[in-house]
Amino acid sequence: PEDIKRRSKDMLKRTEKRGGYALGTGNSVPDYVPDENYFAMISAALEE
């Protein structure tokens, strides 16, 4: 989860000067994605 959070924050930082980045799952969270990874991504977005 920490790697997911770090990578999500990095993507948001790299794109903020060009209008930002729509960080999300697209429509749903696939069954194979661990819940903690999904929540790490959401947490990163809320912190930025």
Q: Is the pLDDT of residue 48 over 80?
A: no
Neighbours of 35 (CB within 10 A): 9
| Position with higher pLDDT, 43 vs 26 | 43
- pLDDT per position as a tens digit, 2-37: 999 999 999 999 998 888 888 888 889 999 999 999
Query: Considering the entire predicted model, what is its pTM?
Result: 0.80
Report the half-sphere exposure of 34 (CA within 13 A, side-chain side).
Answer: 6
**How high is the pLDDT of residue 24?**
86
**How high is the pLDDT of residue 21?**
82
